[in-house]
Amino acid sequence: MKIKIKQRELSKHINIVQKSISSRTTMQILDGILLEAKKDKLKLTGTDLELSIESFVDCEIIEEGSIVVNSRIFGDIIKKLENDLVTITVDKTNINIKCENSEFNISGNSGEDYPDLPLVVERDSFNIPMDIFKTVIKKTVFATTADETRPTLTGVLVEIENRFISFIALDGYRLAFKRLPINTDANTKMIIPGRSLNEINKILEEKEEDLNISVSPSHIIVNLGSTTIYSRLLEGPFFNYKDIIRKEHKTIVKVKKQELQNSLERASLLAKEEKANLVKLSLIDNTLNIKSNTEVGNVFESIDAQADGEDVNIAFNSRYIIEGIKAIDDEEIKLNFMGSLNPCIINGLEDEDYTYLVLPVRLAQDDF
Amino acid sequence: MKIKIKQRELSKHINIVQKSISSRTTMQILDGILLEAKKDKLKLTGTDLELSIESFVDCEIIEEGSIVVNSRIFGDIIKKLENDLVTITVDKTNINIKCENSEFNISGNSGEDYPDLPLVVERDSFNIPMDIFKTVIKKTVFATTADETRPTLTGVLVEIENRFISFIALDGYRLAFKRLPINTDANTKMIIPGRSLNEINKILEEKEEDLNISVSPSHIIVNLGSTTIYSRLLEGPFFNYKDIIRKEHKTIVKVKKQELQNSLERASLLAKEEKANLVKLSLIDNTLNIKSNTEVGNVFESIDAQADGEDVNIAFNSRYIIEGIKAIDDEEIKLNFMGSLNPCIINGLEDEDYTYLVLPVRLAQDDF
C-alpha cells in the first residue's frame, strides 16, 4: 500500500475514528485503526465491537492495500507532522510515514487480522437535524445508569411512533424524557448504549444539517457523509416508564430556573461528595424554602415561587434534582408535586416536550 | 466579629490566599484561612509555614474580631453566593454567612489558635516589573529538581550584584540562567523555593507595574499593594554554576527555533513516557539530523542549520532539551557545542541574557 494524503484531513478523521477505540480493550488488534486504500479513498475503521466507526478521506493512491496501525501512536505522529502532504508506504508490516523532512517507521499488523464489522440489514431509516440530535443526547443520556447489572438502563430508549420520536433514560432515581415530531412512517423502538451516544455527540457538529439514521434489528447506523457510525443496540425489556409520568398534580410551583439552580447548588455545597446529599424543599404559600443540614454546617435558601395547590415538604438527593434542572433551557420551570412520597415532575414553561422526573427521599414530616 | 463585604472582592482575595494553603497539611488549623476584621479592612491570612499570604479587603465593620474558617468550604460558599453584599457574623466559633436569600452556618476555630507568621526583618529591597518577574519565573523554575534529597536545588538561586539580578535553576541534568539589569545598590543572594515561585506566578498579573520585593535573612517578601506574600528561603550552598557556563565552543549552530522544537517533539513521540527518551543529533555540514530509535519504531528528522566549527554527534534526553528550547522566545537560536561529552549551551539569537545548558547522554560514536 502506498498513498499521499493531506495531513490535516487525515488527522481530523483519525480523531473521529478514535472515538470508537477503547483504552481498556483486551484484544490487542482493537487498539488499532484499520487503514484500507482503495479507489482514491483511504478508509479508516475503528471498533470496540460495540461501537464502530468508518471514515473516508480523499487521497492519491499509488498502490492499494491495507494495514492495522496502533491508534494512539499513529494519531500522535500524524497530528505532529507539518501541514503538508503525507506519504504512507506499507511494506509487509512496516509502515513508513514521510512528510517534509520527517520520516517515521513503525510496525503494524496485517489488515486480514482485523475483525469484520457486523453485517447490518437496514430496517427503518429517518432524518434528524444534527444540532437537535446533539441537544436530545445532552438532555437524556446523563440519566442512564452506570450499573452494569441493569444493562438496558445503561442505554437510552428511542421510540418512533405516529410521527413522533421519544428518547427516555432512567436509572431508578430519576427519568429524562424528550419528544420530537419526526418525518417518518416508521414505528420502531430500540435501546442505544449511553456510551455510544456520548461518543456520537463528540463527533456531531452544531449544525442544522440533517443526519440520516438507519436501524437494523441489532444496530443503529448514523450516517454523516464521509463518516458512518455503527452502534450495537441493547437487548431486553426496558422499564415501563409510561405509568410513572402522571398527569395529575396536587401542587404546581412555578419558579425562575436559574434562581432555583443556584439555590440548590449552594444548598449542596456543604455535603461531602461521597454521601447522598439531601436537600429539603418546603413550599409555604408563595415561597420555596430549601434547607440542608450536614456535619459541616447548615444552609437555608428561599426563593419566590408562584404556587397553585397545597403546601408541600419534600426531600431530594441534590445531585439528581440539580442535573435535571440544568438540562432545561427555559427561563421558568414548573415543579409538579403529588405529596412528599411521589416523584416530582419538572418541565420548562415553554418546552412541554421535555420532562424530568425525580424520586423524593422519604423523610418523616418532623424532619423538615 | 461582624462585617459586610462585597462578594466578588472577597472571593477574589480568598482565591489569592488559598495559593498558600497545602492540601497535604497535617495540622488541621492550616486548612483554614484566618479572618481578622479591624479598622475598615478584613485581613485574610493563609500559610503552609513555608509560603504565607496576607490579603486586605475593604469592608464595613460592625464588630471587630477574628476567626479561622476552612479554606475550601469558605471559598466554595463565597464563590457561589450572588454578587451582592455578604454579611459575616461570628459568634464564638459559629460563622453565619448571609447574602440575599441565602444563609449558611458553619463552624470555625478561634483565631488565637492560628500560628503567628514569622517576624521578618527587612534587609534589602528592590523593584521589578510584574510581567518581567512572571517571565523570569517561567523561564527558570521548570529546571529545579523535585528531588527533596538535594533541597537547595528545589529552589531558584537569585543573585543581585553590580546592578544586575540573576536567576539560576538546575537539577543536575540542565541549567537555566536569566540575567536582568536592576535599579538597586544591594548585593545579595538567596534561594527561593520553586513551589513558592510557582504559586507567586499564579497570583501575579501580566502588568508592567512595578512589584516591590524585600529580603530578610530567612524570607523574601513580595508586596502587591493589598496582598503580601512571604516565602521562607532555602538554606545551604548552591551548586557553583558559574564554572560550567563556558565561553569557548568548538561548534556553533544557528537554527530556527520552532523547526527544531517541532522536530524534537516528533522525535520524542515514539518513546514510552517512563523511559529516558534519547534523541541523537548529528551535524553534517549545514544540516542537523535528529534520530530516535525505540521499541515502537524509529524517526528521522533533518533541518537546515547554519553551522560554524566541526561536525558533531551528540545525544540528549529529549525532555531536557525540548523544555529549554520552549523557554526561549526568539525566532532563531544558537546551539553551542564542545564535542559530544560536554554540555550544550543554548541561547536565543536576540536575548543573550537567557542561557539554557543541557548535559548530553554519553553514547559510543558507533551508536549514531
CATH number of the domain bearing residue A217: 3.10.150.10
If phi > 0 it is left, if psi is from -120 to 50 it is alpha, else beta; for residue B40 that is left
Residues of chain A contacting residue B77, judged by C-beta atoms under 8 Å apart? 266, 269
- A71 and A155 co-located in one domain: no
Domain range holding B234? 124-242
Is pLDDT at B144 greater than 60 in this prediction?
yes
Report CA B274 to chain centroid distance, whole Å: 24
Contact B302 A101 (CB under 8 A): yes
Rounded to whole angstroms, the Cα distance separating B319 from A74 reads: 21
* Closest CA of chain A from B102, distance in Å: 5
Residues of chain B contacting residue A73, judged by C-beta atoms under 8 Å apart? 269-270, 296-297
Q: A119 in a domain, yes or no?
A: no
Residue pointed to by grid coordinates 462578594: B7
Residue B272, pLDDT score: 67
Contact B80 A297 (CB under 8 A): no
At A106-163, the pLDDT tens digits run 999 999 999 998 788 888 999 999 999 999 999 999 999 999 999 999 999 999 999 9
Residues of chain B contacting residue A300, judged by C-beta atoms under 8 Å apart? 102-104
Percent of chain A with pLDDT over 90: 86
Contact A101 B270 (CB under 8 A): no
Query: Residue B361 has what DSSP assignment?
Result: B
Q: B118 in a domain, yes or no?
A: no
Q: Which of B335, B325, B333, B336 is closest to B350 using CA atoms?
A: B333
Q: B297 in a domain, yes or no?
A: yes
Q: B330 in a domain, yes or no?
A: yes
Contact A270 B298 (CB under 8 A): no
- Best residue in A7, A100, A102 to probe B by mutation, most B CBs within 10 Å? A102
Q: B61 in a domain, yes or no?
A: yes
Residues of chain A contacting residue B105, judged by C-beta atoms under 8 Å apart? 297-299
Residue A39 has, within 13 A of its CA and on its CB side, a CA count of 1
Q: B89 in a domain, yes or no?
A: yes
Q: Rounded to 5 degrees, what are φ and ψ at A10?
A: -65, -45
Cβ-based neighbours of B318, under 8 Å, separated by 6 or more: B264, B267, B268, B271, B277, B278, B279, B292
- A235 and A255 co-located in one domain: no
Residue B304, pLDDT score: 97
Pairing of strands A219-223, A174-181: unpaired
Of B93, B113, B133, the domain-final residue: B113
Percent of chain B with pLDDT over 70: 99
Residues of chain B contacting residue A76, judged by C-beta atoms under 8 Å apart? 269
Is pLDDT at B275 greater than 80 in this prediction?
no
Of A186, A209, A242, the domain-final residue: A242
Helices assigned H by DSSP within A127-193: 130-140
- A80 and A164 co-located in one domain: no
Residue B80, pLDDT score: 97
User: Higher confidence at residue A99 or residue B272?
Assistant: A99
Residues of chain B contacting residue A262, judged by C-beta atoms under 8 Å apart? 80, 82
Cβ-based neighbours of B188, under 8 Å, separated by 6 or more: B123, B124, B159, B160, B215
Q: Transcribe A218-281 into DSSP letters.
A: SEEEEE-SSEEEEEEPB-SPPP-GGGGS-S--SEEEEEEHHHHHHHHHHHTTTS-TTS--EEEE
Contact B297 A104 (CB under 8 A): yes
Report CA A75 to chain centroid distance, whole Å: 24
- Best residue in B69, B91, B93, B104 to probe A by mutation, most A CBs within 10 Å? B104
- B87 and B153 co-located in one domain: no
Q: Which of B247, B252, B246 is closest to B336 using CA atoms?
A: B252
Alpha-carbon torsion angle A82, A84, A90, A96, nearest 10: -30
Query: What was the ipTM of the complex prediction?
Result: 0.91
Q: A60 in a domain, yes or no?
A: yes
Rounded to whole angstroms, the Cα distance separating B347 from B332 reads: 9
Rounded to whole angstroms, the Cα distance separating A70 from A97 reads: 14
* Closest CA of chain B from A75, distance in Å: 11
Is pLDDT at A274 greater than 60 in this prediction?
no
Residue A122, pLDDT score: 84
Residues of chain B contacting residue A7, judged by C-beta atoms under 8 Å apart? none
What domain count does chain B have? 3
Contact A262 B82 (CB under 8 A): yes
Average pLDDT over residues A157-176: 96
Rounded to whole angstroms, the Cα distance separating A232 from A197 reads: 11
At A83-92, the pLDDT tens digits run 999 999 999 9
Report CA A248 to chain centroid distance, whole Å: 31
Of A188, A209, A242, the domain-final residue: A242
Query: Residue A361 has what DSSP assignment?
Result: B
Q: A118 in a domain, yes or no?
A: no
- Percentages of chain B per state (helix, strand, coil), in multiples of 5: 25, 45, 30
Residue A243, all three cell numbers:
405509568
What are the angstrom distances between the C-alpha of A58 and each of A3, B52, B303, B363?
A: 10, 59, 29, 44
Rounded to whole angstroms, the Cα distance separating A320 from A337 reads: 16
Burial (CB count <10 Å: 0-12, 13-18, 19+), residue B169: buried
Do the Cβ atoms of B230 and B221 come closer than 8 Å? yes
Please tell me which residue of chain B has the smallest CA distance to A301: B102
Report CA A37 to chain centroid distance, whole Å: 32
**Local structure of A57: helix, strand or coil:** strand
Rounded to whole angstroms, the Cα distance separating B279 from B267 reads: 7
Contact A76 B269 (CB under 8 A): yes
- Best residue in B102, B272, B288 to probe A by mutation, most A CBs within 10 Å? B102
At B25-62, the pLDDT tens digits run 888 899 999 999 999 999 999 999 999 999 999 999 99
Is pLDDT at B274 greater than 70 in this prediction?
no
Cβ-based neighbours of A221, under 8 Å, separated by 6 or more: A120, A122, A213, A214, A215, A228, A229, A230
Rounded to whole angstroms, the Cα distance separating B218 from B185 reads: 20
